[in-house]
A and B are shown apart, each in its own frame.
Chain A
Amino acid sequence: MRELRHLLSVYFHAIGVRLKGQMQYRVSFLTETAAQALVTGLDFAALAVLFSRFSNLRGWSLWEVGLLYAIVHASFSLAELAARGFDTFSRQVREGAFDGSLIRPHSPFFMTLCSDFHARRLGRLAQALTVGIVCSAKAGVVWTPDQVLLFIGALIGGACFFVALFVIGATLCFWTVESIELINIFTHGGIEAANVPISIYRTWFRNVFVFVVPLAWVNYFPALHILQRTDPLGFPPVVQVLAPLVGMMFLCLARLVWTVGVRHYQSTGS
């Protein structure tokens, strides 16, 4: 327990230093945060335009879809806030900076976690949460304590899911040195796919996001419970409540893959 508290204090100290650094160019920081919020808000604007032309999306209203949108965007921005170091990891490998992490008193996993903090993503987080609050009100969601708990669980599970993808992408760099950016298919592509209910996709495609890359668990299933909708896919209701745990399990799996990767690491020497 004491060790955990120590790790947390080191982590928040590291984040504080990065935050201070990024706030030095204040105008640039503010415009970029605003631009971040606007760019990511576009996806929602596009959905709104489509809903103005078509009455519904397989029985879902704009406000219900908006909750899915909010969960996936908020999760992703939390992941990028906290674990951006893994997202930009290829640079560390290429420049040999990772060597430094190996000789620190903490694990390389923890050191990489502390290595970057992307404060501008706060714009995206604020935007996503605003959309979530407005849409859930319009969709008539009754926020009982257990609903709120499930919502927060979905955000945390979703953040774990995206961090896991970053970690897997970073692990690939141990072999390829260059970032091959193939993981973008599942991060950015996953956000795009999870903006709308996963049930509208063809079966094979949907199964990828249920069974292989478990995005549906941290987004679609909890949203069904919050919106009190029945699942057209026919999964048992208990799945909806326990779903966020799958995101955390996915992160544990990624952590194992990472450990294998670190053992394989050879410095570029630069």
Chain B
Amino acid sequence: MHAYLHFGVRSFRRAITYRAATLAGMATNFFFGLVRAMIFAAFYEAAVAPPDMPVEQAVSYVWLVQAILGLGFWPFFSDPFIADIRTGAVAMQLLRPVDYQGCWFAHSVARLLQMTLMRGVPIGALAMALGFLAPPPSWESAGLFVLSLGAGMVLAVALAQVTGAIAFWTLDATGPSGLMSVLTMFLSGMLVPIALWPAWLAEVAHFSPFPGLTDTPLSIYLGRYVGPEALGAIGLQWLWAAAMLLVARGLISRGFSRLEIQGG
């Protein structure tokens, strides 16, 4: 356990070194927040029957998406563990006295934590200070939001591992990762809150793990899910996360059993 913790801390430190990149990324996220908030506000002007999500909640949702963007998105890109599979460096992992999936997990969670803390918290705080983002309606909602966000991180890493493990067969996971990020971006509710979707499409999303990456934590933050409903939603996130981690484990062990390292 200690080894994985140590590994995670190292990944976290490496990630916080690139401050200029973080700042530029934050500025871009902030800009997207401004644009999307204005678009949603303009759409709401023409609401025939007001949707059950009021405009203030939709705008808060948009800003929260910019703050926790990394969750639905980041784990799929530039993952050094996936690159290792292509280059053959993954063979080194087999020599180590620690579990491969465990190291990968520690590394990815650390990166996500860095993203959320260093990008998300300042963006959220700034949006709140400027009055764009409303605080959670109660302390209970705030606490449950943090729990749900944690579950969402584990789920995000699990999904990225399932996708990345495909590289054991295809060597290059860019294509699968790209397709997976399409599914994620749409079905997680990153682009449009699920509350505003047509009913049949929302139904489809709720049978998938993806809402757990964005829509679930944000609905809890906004107080749309409270009490037992919120706890149930968090339980579902963990269930999906556990299932995906098991699938990834199966894929990785099968991948290793047929692994051929290309020389050179």
Contacts and interface: CB of A to CB of B under 8 A. Distances in A.
A67 interface: no
A125 B230 CA distance: 42
A152 interface: no
A196 B39 contact: yes
Interface string A41-75: 01101100110111111100000000000000000
Interface string B158-192: 00000000000010101110110110011000011
Contacts of B36: 192
A123 B181 CA distance: 16
A193 B35 contact: yes
Given A28-B174, A35-B179, A54-B44, A49 B32 contact: no
B1 interface: no
Interface residues of B, number: 38
Interface stretch (B18-26, B213-221, B248-256): B18-26
Given A58-B46, A180-B20, A201 B172 contact: no
Contacts of A192: 32, 35-36
Contacts, number: 106
Nearest to A201: B38
Contacts of B198: 49, 52-53
Nearest to B44: A54
Q: Is the interface of B mostly helix, strand, loop or mixed?
A: helix
Main secondary structure of the interface of A (DSSP, over half): helix
B175 A45 contact: no
A189 B32 contact: yes
B43 interface: yes
B46 A42 contact: no
B42 A58 contact: yes
B261 interface: no
Contacts of B175: 27-28, 31-32, 34-35
Given A189-B28, A202-B38, A42 B178 contact: no
Interface in B26-65: 27-28, 31-32, 34-36, 38-39, 42-48, 51
A45 B20 CA distance: 33
A42 B182 contact: yes
A181 B24 contact: yes
B11 to A, nearest CB: 21
A75 B191 CA distance: 22
A144 to B, nearest CB: 31
A39 B190 CA distance: 13
B46 A205 contact: no
B85 to A, nearest CB: 14
B191 A39 contact: no
Contacts of B201: 49
Nearest to A196: B39
B179 A181 contact: no
B42 A31 contact: no
A142 interface: no
A43 to B, nearest CB: 8
A6 B24 CA distance: 40
A25 interface: yes
A53 to B, nearest CB: 5
Nearest to A53: B196
A27 B191 CA distance: 29
A54 B39 CA distance: 12
B51 A53 contact: yes
Interface string A11-34: 000000000000001011001101
Contacts of A53: 43, 47, 51, 196-198
Contact of B181 (A39, A196, A201): A39
Contact of B185 (A31, A42, A56, A205): A42
Interface in A189-225: 189, 192-193, 196, 200-202, 205
Contact of B20 (A25, A178, A188): A178
A49 B24 contact: no
A45 B185 CA distance: 11
A181 B182 contact: no
30 contacts: A28-B174, A28-B175, A31-B175, A31-B176, A34-B179, A35-B178, A38-B178, A38-B179, A42-B186, A45-B186, A46-B186, A49-B191, A49-B198, A50-B196, A53-B47, A53-B197, A54-B47, A54-B48, A57-B42, A57-B43, A178-B20, A180-B20, A182-B24, A185-B28, A189-B31, A189-B35, A192-B35, A193-B35, A196-B39, A200-B42
Interface of A: 25, 27-28, 31-32, 34-36, 38-39, 42-43, 45-46, 49-50, 52-58, 178, 180-182, 184-185, 188-189, 192-193, 196, 200-202, 205
10 cross-chain pairs, A with B, having the tightest CB-CB distances, nearest first: A31-B175, A35-B178, A46-B191, A200-B42, A181-B24, A189-B31, A54-B43, A38-B182, A185-B31, A193-B35
Given A49-B191, A54-B44, A192-B36, 8 more contacts: A39-B181, A52-B198, A53-B198, A54-B43, A54-B46, A58-B45, A178-B20, A205-B38
